[in-house]
Amino acid sequence: MSSALIWTLVGLGLGVLVVRRRSLAVALVTAQALVLVGVALDEAESGGDVLAAGALAVRAIVLAGLFLLLVSRTRAVRPVRARVAPLARAGVAVAFALALTWLVPAIGLVSRDAERGVLALVAFGISTAALRRATLFQIIGIVLVENALALAALQLPGGASVAIELGVALDLILVTVVAVVFYERIFAAFGTADSAALRALRD
């Protein structure tokens, strides 16, 4: 896998962190997943590898469908304001990614660029969940982290277990389906998709 492709994936991840519109974030995270599908198919050496790539593709399409359905069913009067401005978000996330790269010297993947890309995407995913107030972005943050881990699985020297890859894809779809149920109910109960409204439970 070329370095340019890895940094394209990282760029798409950073885009998710800074864009304002939910539909654009869904498009970026889906594009990221589809790039991973392409890489998986390109590097496939056995029927199992093709099956794992197929699972990644199904995952990408199902999640995109769920997210877009959710966006269309929960149109807010005004978009939820993030608690941190886009440039500041990007700054915090990049600093987090650099810190993670410094703290984790080697993962054991086939190239150092792949390792940096994985760590940067994990940092962007966690930052998205932490810094965006819109609840949909918190789910997308989880998907970003899972995309990072899919990249890591593709760049393992001996390849990852197909069973584990299929399981991870299935788990992510399950978690997202449950998150979508919650999202709709939260929107109905609180009248907003702003996670700042979820503050009743404090000690």
Binding residues for other proteins, rule: CB under 8 A, are 103-109, 118, 122, 125-126, 129, 135, 138-139, 141-142, 145-146, 148-149, 152-153, 156-161, 163-164, 167-168, 171, 174-175, 177-179, 181-182, 185-186, 189-190, 195, 198-201, 203
3-class state of residue 193 by DSSP: coil
Q: Compute how many other C-beta atoms are within 10 angstroms of the C-beta atom of residue 67.
A: 25
SS3 content of the chain, % helix, strand, coil (to 5): 75, 0, 25
Nearer to other proteins, 87 or 166 (CB): 166
Long-range contacts of 188-196 (CB under 8 A, 24+ apart): 192/76, 192/80, 193/74, 193/76, 193/80, 193/134, 193/135, 193/136, 194/80, 194/133, 194/134, 194/135, 195/133, 195/134, 195/135, 195/138, 196/83, 196/133
Shortest separation between residue 128's beta carbon and other proteins, angstroms: 10
Minimum Å gap between C-beta 129 and other proteins is 6
Shortest spacing between CB 112 and other proteins, in angstroms: 13
Q: Which is nearer to other proteins, 87 or 108 (CB)?
A: 108
Between residues 5 and 149, which has the closer beta carbon with respect to other proteins?
A: 149
Radius of gyration of the chain, Cα coordinates, nearest whole angstrom? 17
Q: Which of 24/174 has CB closer to other proteins? A: 174
* Long-range contacts, stretch 39-44, CB < 8 angstroms, 24+ apart: 39/1, 39/5, 39/154, 40/154, 43/1, 43/154
Query: Residue 12 or 52: which CB sits closer to other proteins?
Result: 52
Whose Cβ is closer to other proteins: residue 45's or residue 87's?
A: 45
CB of 94 to other proteins, least distance (A): 19
- Minimum CB separation of residue 89 from other proteins in Å reads 17
Q: How far is the CB of 55 from other proteins (least distance, A)?
A: 13
